[in-house]
Structure 1
């Protein structure tokens, strides 16, 4: 390989630094200065944009806190209005008001809503007696001590968990709370406390707390001066807040873009810290910081904000541009040098580069044009979401689908996500997480989005997932297809099938009935040639009737209108009945049945639907079995499930057809010359029916040797059950509002020989107890319309059920025992529990209740 000689290299260097190349050096100097000026300008613009965004984020956080506190004030004002409108508010009315608010869903972070009653010293004893009469036998106003004026937390919902510690507490006994309460009473306005530690801090991390107070006055008294308002004070409606929980409820699950802290007072002092998001390096100096003052109900909060590294880095984009500008400057210098020192070569190179740039630009234009035409032809909209920046780009067609004017400017991604229905958004996010975990790069999912006019638009979202090296999702890009027309066509198709099927039933019934009368000789003897034709007509009427029934069943299943009568019943009679019903069809095809099944196996199923599945399996096996062969039906246990299989000796299922075998209208031979008739709906319907009964279906096939279709159902029991045992077994009432627990208790207690009735609410339980006599009752403390302790008190107050044994099954047994002193004939069982624990605890409860010497002191019988 030839290398330049030293003299040639020296000549090139001399030419590079010669006076002839002064123009190239001037170009380099100008380019570098322009690059420096551009970098300084861009850096200034970035700083101003980041500062504006930082100020906006800080203001949004401050405004969100202020708005949420105003919402909480409205809740308390509504509670105060309840007292103003009623001379006496009882505990049930207070609970009803709280439940109607649905605070956990609408205002997460609030600890509860309560009412503190003001008491003179001589009223305390009478007040405590009244509360005990409500069922709280160990109630005491706390803390003890003599004070000129008392207050007592009388109502607090939810009255469970942490809130139990505050029940009966005198908030006037503590100075911070007392100052805020008296200030609210004298001013007649809402007030909040300074930083306090709530009584609810019974376990876990201790959070800073505060309370909001709204005064309630006695009606008819003057309220013109602070002294008059204090004298007329009836009580205080209030809400306690744990600051970390409150801020989590206000901010939701949005990823924070800045650190902020809240201090009680006009200065950010460590001992007055209410809340802080800072978890990183406290020594890091943020690039942006801000401090705001927030006046809230007599208190001043200081909010300090600091930018996070991720926020700062998102605005530092000038560095790469600086390097790019430096490279461009050097390139210009080289080009200028070549133009000066190698003009001809430079001109040729310039022409070549210009041509290449022109070709690249033309290729890019054609590519963009093709993409634009493809998207336009497909009528799809496109979109791109940058998760790091939280920004969205959407095409004009995408906005047009949702009824909005075209706007392809970058927008916050939240504006787009708010247009999606919450359930579909949750499902989409779950699907994206699963796709990322599985390493998939593509996704496709249907969803519904809100049109500008208010109706919903079904769309198909398809796109590409871009993740970083750690597998974190960074960007989503894809298309959106309007499915409105497709859904409309599917709905019309379903309605058409349903309408046609129903309309065909009436004439088909008349034809089939008339043919049956003629073939049965009801109108006289039919000539032999005609009888054969009429028999063929009647058989095809029956085939057509089966087709219509299959179409209607499939339409009901898809529309969710098919009802199921699920009963606990033995499996053996159902199988034998299916064989009997299909015996004639088997004899017609010259096929015999063989049966091999287990003993008494109990399942929870709809007998009619299970017969339909067995009929489909058996009829298919008969049709494809050679004449003179047999169809074998057998059952076996597989863990906690029972499998029922139907095997034939037919030709088997082709390999290519197996993936579609349970699809609608699927047939291995779809030609007009197929040997076996059928609609292709039987297996699809069977699969849907078994899955609606919590089961599964499947098959295995060997070409030339036959096929086995099977279904599995959950196993209930394997025991001998006689009518005498069922009618004489003890009857239990299960009071539980969770369907899965009801099903579990019915199975466990049914296996043990009990008869079980179940209800889901306090009102239903009282109605059933008035109608039926029960041996015992199981009870959950948390019901949809009340508390289990209230139901216990009503049961004990009724002479007919005063001694009824009660088994409390709950995750809150400890709370229940604290609030209920009268524990006669009551046993306690904590969730979760085993079958042995349930039966053992129930037996001891019944045994203790039947013994006159047992008392409620037997609390050691509680099972854990």
Structure 2
């Protein structure tokens, strides 16, 4: 067909080909331009949508952190209300009433750090030991001028017990935040640290937020006064993974999140990432925020996930490109067709030559049809329809030669030819279906009548031509079956062809396909009028490579492969030895669990 089209193009003058070619190039350029604009607009829309998601998520992060700061301010007011004298029980009840796990998810604990000088150290230790903690000591050991040990932390369980007595002023990152908090009188967050609460399991990055407590309710006005009147600290403890999980309780479906300590996105500064270590998937969209978290800088980076990109990807641009190319081709072909008509009108005097060309094309078409019959192996199934088409086409050609074309007759014959072509197409489509690999066919609810039709379409004509009566009896209420329809049809077709081979030389020939059911199963029974299978053959008939046919006769799935297909469907395939006629039975469950058949 393609070679004929190329030959046809060669017969048209080049100057006429230039017109449809030029139109095609122009339309193609318009299509590509429109496609590029649509793709850019789709990208912009996705980018705007992602920015909205990132801004909303970042706002949730900032709002939650502000909420934690309010918790510290409230705790500070509680301590001042009690004139800086708070017992362990009072602190426990106060924090317990806050219900941190529900109202402020993600916070590890709220603590009090008392300011202790070198001179006051031993007195402080004795006071704590006398309150019931005999082994209390300030950690890490060593003599220092100033200490800020953790004296209260709630909830006082599990990991938080490890922080009791720890001097937060002994470590440089914590000390820097404490000094800034005292100098400004405001809450200050530390940089990236490893909390003393960490164990050898599930180690996370962390940080602290310190709010200074002064001996006076009012914040002293000068730095010197604030240093002189410092009483202690109220602190919030955070483990980054727990914090982010508390803020973003849902899974990270639309974005990946990374938080860095400071302004630089260096690996050493990474506070949190929902991605595995060293895994940096390529993202189409990203948004970076520089945020002040309690007077400490965080760099918050959101990047799009593959899920988001797939959900927001528009198919409009691709459809526009495809439809534009098809439209360009169709318009060009229409112009080519119009030019062809013009050429034919111009050369009407050469009708005899045109007729010869038409005859050659018909001969060539017949050759292709013959090749198709041989390649497909379905000569019996399409021979008669092709004969009818040929007769009607010949009738139309004769009328055309005599200039006696009647539109009604042309329409009637065209409709008849179209219906016959549909029938042939159905046969060849069935042939293509059965010729392809079917190992990966998915299971679904298939119409039983369709399964039978797919199995019989390729053998009906052969049966008729050889005088074989095919009896189909469906005696079941069920209309569908959970299976691979193609595979079941293949098995049925194989059994029907085997039955045909067994009875084709008999006088009165019939094959019966019977469909029945019980509560849980559908039964397909294929029986024929042929002689019974010998007992010695019955024992070997299901074995691989066993056949009773002569060398070179017949193809198909083979009974052993057919049985394998049925068993994969959790069914049974066997020869019914209790019936006189040769009868093969396919037993399939009506309902099959998908997890079993995947």
* TM-score category, normalised to shorter length: 0.5 to 0.7
- For 1:4-403, what aligned pairs fall within 5 Å after superposition? 12-14=8-10, 19-20=15-16, 23-87=19-83, 88-219=85-216, 223-279=220-276, 282=279, 284-313=281-310, 314-315=312-313, 317=315, 318-341=317-340
Q: TM-score, normalised by structure 1?
A: 0.37
**C-alpha separation in 2, matches of 1:132 and 1:100:** 27
Which whole-Å deviations, capped at 9, do the CAs of 1:67-91 have from their partners, x for residues lacking one? 1111100001000000111122111
Distance in 2 between the 1:115 and 1:232 partners? 16
Would the aligned equivalents of 1:222 and 1:228 in 2 still touch at CA under 8 Å? no
Structure 1 residues 81 and 221: alpha-carbon distance in aligned structure 2, compared to 1, 3 A threshold: closer
Cα-to-partner distance string for 1:549-596 (whole Å, 9 max, x where unaligned): xxxxxxxxxxxxxxxxxxxxxxxxxxxxxxxxxxxxxxxxxxxxxxxx
Deviation at 1:233, TM superposition (A): 1.2
- How far 1:24 sits from its partner (Å)? 3.5
1:377 counterpart residue number: none
- Greater CA drift, 182-191 or 216-225: 216-225
After TM superposition, the structure 1 = structure 2 runs for residues 521-536 of structure 1, keeping only pairs within 5 Å, are: none
Distance 1:305 1:32 in 2: 39
What is the DSSP-based 3-state SS (H/G/I as helix, E as strand, rest coil) of the residue aligned with 1:111?
Answer: strand
Inter-CA distance 332–134: structure 2 relative to 1 (3 Å threshold):
farther
1:319 CA displacement: 3.1
3-state secondary structure, aligned to 1:65: helix
Q: Could you tell me how far 1:59 is from its partner in structure 2? A: 2.5
Contact 1:293 1:300 in 2 (8 A): yes
Question: Shift of the alpha carbon at 1:20?
Answer: 4.5
How far apart are the structure 2 equivalents of 1:224 and 1:52?
47
1:38-81 deviation line (CA, Å, top 9, x unaligned): 11111221222232233333323332222111110000100000
1:208-264: CA deviation from partner (whole Å, max 9, x where unpaired): 110001111113687110111121111111111111111111122143323332111
Q: Which runs of 5+ in 1 are unaligned?
A: 353-438, 441-864
Deviates more, 1:308-317 or 1:155-164: 308-317
- The alignment's TM-score, normalised by the length of structure 2, stands at 0.53
Distance 1:271 1:33, change over 3 A: same
Decide whether the 8 Å contact of 2:253 with 2:307 is kept in 1. no
In the alignment, what sits opposite 1:860?
Answer: none
Residue 80 of structure 2 contacts residue 217 of structure 2 at CA under 8 Å; is this kept in 1?
no
- CA-atom RMSD, angstroms? 3.1
Give structure 2 stretches of 5+ with no counterpart. Answer: 345-406, 412-443, 446-598
Q: Please list the CA deviations of residues 240-289 of structure 1 after superposition, one character each: whole Å capped at 9, or x if unmatched.
A: 11111111111221433233321112211221111112338746543334
Q: Residues 320 and 279 of structure 1: is their aligned pair in 2 closer, same or farther, counting only changes over 3 Å? A: farther
Secondary structure, counterpart of 2:148 in structure 1: strand
Are the aligned partners of 1:15 and 1:21 in contact in 2 as well (CA < 8 Å)?
no
Aligned residues of 1:292 and 1:302 also touching (Cα < 8 A): yes
Greater relative CO (CA pairs within 8 A, separation 6+): 2
Q: Following superposition of structure 1 onto structure 2, how do residues 531-610 of structure 1 map, counting pairs within 5 Å?
A: none
Q: CA deviation at 1:150?
A: 1.5
CA distance in 1, matches of 2:195, 2:300: 22
Decide whether aligned partners of structure 1 residues 264 and 12 sit closer, same or farther in structure 2, where only a CA change above 3 A counts: same
- Closer, same or farther in 2 for the Cα pair 1:221/1:112, shift >3 Å? closer
User: Distance between the aligned counterparts of 1:262 and 1:282, measured in 2?
Assistant: 15
SS of residue in 2 equivalent to 1:223: coil
The DSSP-based 3-state class of the residue aligned with 1:195 is coil
Once the two structures are superposed, residues 331-382 of structure 1 have per-residue CA deviations (whole angstroms, 9 ceiling, x without a partner) of 3323333344359x9xx9xxx9xxxxxxxxxxxxxxxxxxxxxxxxxxxxxx
Shift in alpha-carbon separation, 1:98–1:132, aligned structure 2, 3 A: same
Secondary structure of the corresponding residue to residue 213 of structure 1: strand
How far off its partner does 1:316 sit? 5.4
Alpha-carbon spacing, 1:17–1:85, altered in 2? closer, same or farther (3 Å): farther
Contact 1:140 1:168 in 2 (8 A): yes
Shift of 1:22: 5.1
Q: Is the 8 A contact 2:106 2:245 kept in 1?
A: yes
Cα distance, 1:17–1:316 mapped onto 2, change above 3 Å: farther
Partners of 2:277 and 2:168 in 1: CA distance: 37
- Tell me the distance in 2 between the aligned counterparts of 1:301 and 1:238: 19
Residues of 2 paired with 1:137 and 1:341: CA distance? Answer: 107
Deviations 1:689-725 (A, max 9, x none): xxxxxxxxxxxxxxxxxxxxxxxxxxxxxxxxxxxxx
Change (3 A) 1:10 1:323: closer
Shift of 1:10: 6.8
> For 2:109 and 2:153, how far apart are their aligned partners in 1?
7
